[in-house]
């Protein structure tokens, strides 16, 4: 089969589009004929060697997958050949930037039926991150106020929609380029971070602060002052410490997304019901994945991109 791998860490030039043996599913695993994988910034971080995820070289990136099961390993009884599935794969294992991938059966759920199967690869890790940040970490509930910093990105879009659907009052930061999209997702208030500061714009305390954007430690601490006593600060950016305030009872949680088939099944249901959307900015052939990495390194990738076997 064809796959993209890196045999050493480094810049995008270490990626090779090459022939690889088709994997065989082991106990508790299935093999998927890949419809698409999704590109995520963490793929570049692992390829560059600066994310602490213990991959074995050579490594195939792409931890989001959609496709069709074509082989079933020993002990798998609830999935069968021919079933369309979607899943968030273990990040340290070989991923789905290939024609076939082996995956744990318990990480997979039925793919949404309302969208093309390839586009479904854009759902798992970003939607799970948003859900886990809001509800597992943030304990968000109806009537609460949440400030989402960095709402214009792929995770932010799901976070805004899920928070609004839960009945929260959503305040979101966005640039003019993404403001209309964030408003359509359900934000009640939008802060143009290119024209004003969050500190100036937020004059009432929030119950939850969710940070999804690169931020300095100083600015993060300042933003956390807008969280009410007893509230929570949640972040998906582990490079900067998530601030807490013990005197005011404000706790801090840094999110590391993890597989959750139950929640992913619920998210798929929301796609099929029309309550959530999968917005795909681009569809890129697998052979062009190295070029996509170069574009990402240069800051030129916007929105969710899925990678389709040639």
Distances (CA, A) of 260 to 34, 90, 232: 20, 11, 22
pTM, full prediction: 0.95
- Residue 1, classed as helix, strand or coil, is coil
Residue (of 284, 253, 274) closest to 133 by Cα position: 253
Look at strands 64-72 and 84-88 and give their pairing. Answer: antiparallel
Q: Residue 199: is its pLDDT beyond 90?
A: no
Q: Which two tokens stand for residue 230?
A: 């007893």
Residue 51's pLDDT is: 85
Report the alpha-carbon distance of residue 131 to residue 305 in Å, rounded.
20
Q: How confident is the model at residue 234 (pLDDT cuts 50, 70, 90)?
A: very high
Look at strands 29-39 and 64-72 and give their pairing. Answer: antiparallel
Residue 179's pLDDT is: 92
CB 50 within 8 A of CB 12: no
CB 168 within 8 A of CB 144: yes
Report the alpha-carbon distance of residue 130 to residue 110 in Å, rounded.
20
DSSP H helical ranges for the chain: 41-48, 124-131, 154-165, 179-185, 198-201, 217-224, 261-273, 289-297
Report the alpha-carbon distance of residue 28 to residue 96 in Å, rounded.
18
- Residue 179, classed as helix, strand or coil, is helix
Q: Residue 195: is its pLDDT beyond 90?
A: no
Residue 197's pLDDT is: 87
Residue 216's pLDDT is: 95
Each domain of the chain, given as residue ranges in start order, spans: 2-122+278-308, 126-254
Mean pLDDT of 291-299: 96
Q: Residue 239: is its pLDDT beyond 90?
A: no
What is the per-residue pLDDT across 116-149, written as a single tens digit (0 to 9) for each? 999 999 999 999 999 999 999 999 999 999 999 9
Mean pLDDT of 27-55: 95
Report the alpha-carbon distance of residue 78 to residue 19 in Å, rounded.
31
Q: What's the chain's average pLDDT? A: 96
Mean pLDDT of 186-195: 92
Q: Residue 219: is its pLDDT beyond 90?
A: yes
Q: Which CATH class is domain 126-254?
A: alpha beta
Report the alpha-carbon distance of residue 186 to residue 170 in Å, rounded.
8
Residue 145's pLDDT is: 98
Domain 2-122+278-308, CATH number (from 3.90.1150.10, 3.90.180.10, 3.40.367.20, 3.90.79.10): 3.90.180.10
Longest dimension (CA), the chain: 59
Residue 52's pLDDT is: 83
CB 47 within 8 A of CB 15: yes
Residue 185's pLDDT is: 93
């Amino acid at each position: 089969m064809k796959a993209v791998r890196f045999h050493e860490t480094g810049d995008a030039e270490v990626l090779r589009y090459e022939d690889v043996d088709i994997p065989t599913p082991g106990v508790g695993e299935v093999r998927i004929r890949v419809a698409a994988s999704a590109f995520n910034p963490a793929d570049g971080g692992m390829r560059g060697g600066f994310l602490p995820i213990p991959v074995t070289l050579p490594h195939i990136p792409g931890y989001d997958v959609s496709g069709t099961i074509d082989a079933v390993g020993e002990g798998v009884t609830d999935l069968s050949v021919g079933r369309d599935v979607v899943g968030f794969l273990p990040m340290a294992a070989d991923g789905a930037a290939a024609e076939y991938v082996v995956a744990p059966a318990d990480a997979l759920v039925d793919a949404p039926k309302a969208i093309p199967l390839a586009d479904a690869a854009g759902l798992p890790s970003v939607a799970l991150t948003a859900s886990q940040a809001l509800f597992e970490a943030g304990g968000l509930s109806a009537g609460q106020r949440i400030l989402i910093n960095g709402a214009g990105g792929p995770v932010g879009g799901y976070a805004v929609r899920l928070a609004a659907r839960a009945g929260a009052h959503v305040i979101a930061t966005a640039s003019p380029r993404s403001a209309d999209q964030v408003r359509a997702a359900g934000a009640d208030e939008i802060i143009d971070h290119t024209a004003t500061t969050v500190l100036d714009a937020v004059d009432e305390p929030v119950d939850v602060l969710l940070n999804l954007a690169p931020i300095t430690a100083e600015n993060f601490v300042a933003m956390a002052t807008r969280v009410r006593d007893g509230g929570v600060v949640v972040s998906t950016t582990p490079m900067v410490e998530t601030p807490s305030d013990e005197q005011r009872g404000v706790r801090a949680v840094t999110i590391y997304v993890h597989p959750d088939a139950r929640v992913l099944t619920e998210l798929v249901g929301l796609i099929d019901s029309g309550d959530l959307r999968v917005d795909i900015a681009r569809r890129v052939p697998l052979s062009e994945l190295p070029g996509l990495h170069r574009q990402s390194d240069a800051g030129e990738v916007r929105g969710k991109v899925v990678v389709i076997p040639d």
